[in-house]
Structure 1
Amino acid sequence: MKYEHLLKNHRLKVTPQRLAIIELMQQRGHISIDDLYDTIKNKFSSISLATLYKNIHMMMDVSLIREVKIPGQKTKYEIEKESHAHVVCKSCGELKDLPFDPGVLIQKSIEMSDYKADEVSVVVSGICPECRKK
C-alpha cells in the first residue's frame, strides 16, 4: 500500500508522523491510542499525545481512519475500508474484522424507527477459538 497516495487522496499533507501512523495501523489492523503513542514515540521522540490526537482526528475528519468503539475497552482505530462488523474476545481482547454489511441494519432501523440513520457500528463479543481451547 502506498501510504503517501492514501494521504494525498484524502487531501492531507504527507508528513513522516502521518506516514508512521498509517503504516502502524495497516500492520496492526486495530490499535489503541496508547499503543499507537508508545510505538510512534520510539520513532519520533518529540511527538506529543496532543499532536497524535490532532492527527488522528484530522484523519477521521476526511474518512481515512475510523474509531472502533468496544464496550468495556479503550477505543481502537483502523484504516477505513469496506463495511464490516467486528468480533472481540472477552478473554484475550483480540479484535477482528467480520465480513458483514451493516448497511442492512441501517435500512432496517430506518424502517422501524423513522430515524435518518447514516452509520452503524457492530461489535460482537464472545470467546475466540484459542481461548476456548484453554
Structure 2
Amino acid sequence: MHEHHDHEHTHDEIKEAVERLKSSGVRITPQRHAVLEYLIEAEIHPTADDIYKALEGKFPNMSVATVYNNLRVFKDIGLVKELTYGDASSRFDYNTTKHYHVICESCGKIVDFHYPSLDEVEALAETVTGFQVSHHRMEIYGVCPDCKVKH
C-alpha cells in the first residue's frame, strides 16, 4: 500500500510551493493554485489531460493549453518533473523527495517508491569513474495489482 498524505502535510506543501513560485516571480493565479494543489494531492502522476478534466468544472474557461502552460512554468522552476516514459502522454510529478517509479506495463500507471540509500549509487559512481554526477534515473517495470487481477 502507498501511504496517503494527511491533509496538514499537503497544506504545508502547497504553501511551500506557492512561496517558491512567488520567489521565482511567478504570478499565482487561481488556476495555477488549483493545478498545483491537484498535483500535490494526486497519488497518481496525472497527465495534463487528467488535470484539465479534474479542474474544468471549477474553471469553465480553462483550456488544456492553459494547463500545459502552467505545468511548463512549474517545470521550469523545478517544482514539477515531467515523466516521459511509459506511453505517449507525459505525466507530471510534484517533485519533493528523491524517489523512483514503478511503472505498470499494462495500464501505464506510475507509483512512487522511496528508497533513500540509492543516493549512494551516485557517490559510488563518482568515486569509481571520476565523473561529476548530476543525477540518475531508475525505472522499475511490472504489472500493477489491479491489472494482475484482470489477467
Same fold (TM over 0.5): yes
1:108 Cα deviation (Å)?
4.8
In structure 2, the residue matched to 1:129 is: 145
2:61 is the alignment partner of 1:46? yes
Which sections of structure 2, spanning at least 5 residues, go unmatched?
1-10
Distance 1:25 1:122 in 2: 22
Show the counterpart of 2:103. Answer: 88
Q: Deviations over 1:101-129 (max 9, x none)?
A: 45344345545665543122322111123
Which residue of 2 is the match for residue 103 of structure 1?
A: 119
- Contact conserved, 1:7 with 1:13, CA < 8 A, in 2? no
- Which secondary structure does the structure 2 equivalent of 1:121 belong to? coil
Match status 1:120 vs 2:136: yes
Gapped runs of 5+ residues in structure 1? Answer: none
TM-score normalised by length of structure 1: 0.80
Residues 72 and 9 of structure 1: CA distance in aligned 2, closer, same or farther (over 3 Å): closer
Identity of matched residues, % = 25
Deviating beyond 6 angstroms after TM superposition, the runs of 4 or more aligned structure 1 residues are none
Considering only aligned residues, what root-mean-square deviation do their CA atoms show, in Å?
A: 2.3
Equivalent-residue separation in structure 2 for 1:49 and 1:129 (angstroms)? 31
CA distance in 2, matches of 1:120, 1:110: 12
Match of 1:69 in 2: 84
Aligned to 1:55: 70
Aligned pair partner of 1:35 in 50, 62, 71: 50
Aligned residues: 134
- 8 Å Cα contact 1:87/1:123 also seen in 2: yes
- Cα distance, 1:56 vs. partner? 0.9
Alignment of 1:8-23 (within 5 A): 8-11=19-22, 12-23=26-37
